Amino acid sequence: MAAPRFKRILLKVGGESMVGDREYGIDPQAALEVANQIKSIYVKGVQIAVVIGGGNIFRGLAGSKNGIDRATADYMGMLATVMNALALQDALEKVGVPTRVQSALQMPAVAESFVRRRAMRHMEKGRVVILAAGTGVPYVTTDTGASLHALELHCDVMMKATKVNGIYDQDPNKNKDARRFKTLTFKDAISMPGVEVMDTAALAMCSENDLAVMVFKLFEGNNLSQAVDGQDIGTYVSNQVTTQFAE
C-alpha cells in the first residue's frame, strides 16, 4: 500500500452528515457511515483530528437571527457539537477505531478538556481525536475553529467534507452551468464573487499560515481515502497553486 500524501489531517464534517433520512437530530446509521469513512483512512496510518458541526441540532447564527442573544445562541451551538462528537465517538469505537473527545468547554463527565499537547499525543498513539465546542468562545464559526485547531496541531491539510464535490464558481444546485475548480488560490477564494468555501476569517488564517484546504464530497465512494492519497478529488485551495477549473 502506497503511503498517503497527507500524514496528519484535520477533517471538518458538517453536522448534517449525522442526520441520515431524518429531518434533524442524529441517525445512528448515518453516524456509522461517517465512522466507516474515517476508518478507511485510519487503517492507512493517517493521524486524524475531527471537527464536527452542530447544524443538525442547533445553529448559533440562526438562533441569534430568531431573537436569541448571539453569545447565548453560539454557546447552544457549541453544546450541539458536543452531542455530535459523542455520537461519532460511539460510532467510531463500534467499528474498532479508538477515539477521544476533547471539548473547548469544560465538561469532564463526558469529554476531556482540550489540551493541545494531549491531543497531539493521542494522535501519535493512533487515536482519532474529535474536537468539540469550537473554540469555547462565541462569535466564532466552526470553520474558524477547525482552521485554528488544524494549525495548532500541525496538520498537513484541513479537509472539509461537504454535500458537493468541491468548490464552484456559482451555486451548482441553482445553476447547471456552474464549473468546479480543480485548484484555487486563497486570494481568489476570498475575493471571487459567487465562490463559497468557508468564512473569510478561516480562509485568511489558512492563507497567512500556508495551511492548504481540500473541499470534497464525503458520501461518494471512497472520496476521503482518495483525498488523503492526493488524488484529484474536489478542490484544493492553497497559496502554492494557480486557479484552474476541472476538466
Strands 212-217 and 8-13: unpaired
Would you say residue 13 has pLDDT above 80?
A: yes
Average pLDDT over residues 60-80: 88
pLDDT of residue 1: 57
- Measured over the CA atoms of residue 131, residue 132, residue 135 and residue 136, the dihedral's sign is negative
| Class of the domain covering 8-245 | alpha beta
| Mean pLDDT score of the chain | 93
Secondary-structure percent of the chain, ordered helix, strand, coil, rounded to 5: 35, 20, 45
pLDDT of residue 2: 67
Residue ranges covered by each domain of the chain: 8-245
Q: Report the C-alpha gap between 99 and 225 in whole angstroms.
A: 19
Would you say residue 214 has pLDDT above 70?
A: yes
**What are 140-185's pLDDT values in tens digits?**
989 999 999 999 999 999 999 988 899 999 888 888 888 999 999 9
pLDDT of residue 182: 95
- 142-152 and 200-208 helices cross at what angle (nearest 10)? 20
Question: Residues 215, 237: contact at Cβ < 8 Å?
Answer: yes
Q: Report the C-alpha gap between 57 and 77 in whole angstroms.
A: 8
Question: Residues 39, 224: contact at Cβ < 8 Å?
Answer: no
Question: Residues 160, 12: contact at Cβ < 8 Å?
Answer: yes
**What are 20-48's pLDDT values in tens digits?**
888 889 999 999 999 999 999 999 999 99
Would you say residue 194 has pLDDT above 90?
A: no
Average pLDDT over residues 190-216: 92
Would you say residue 241 has pLDDT above 80?
A: yes
Q: How many CB atoms lie within 10 A of CB 75?
A: 20
Record the pTM. 0.93
pLDDT of residue 134: 93
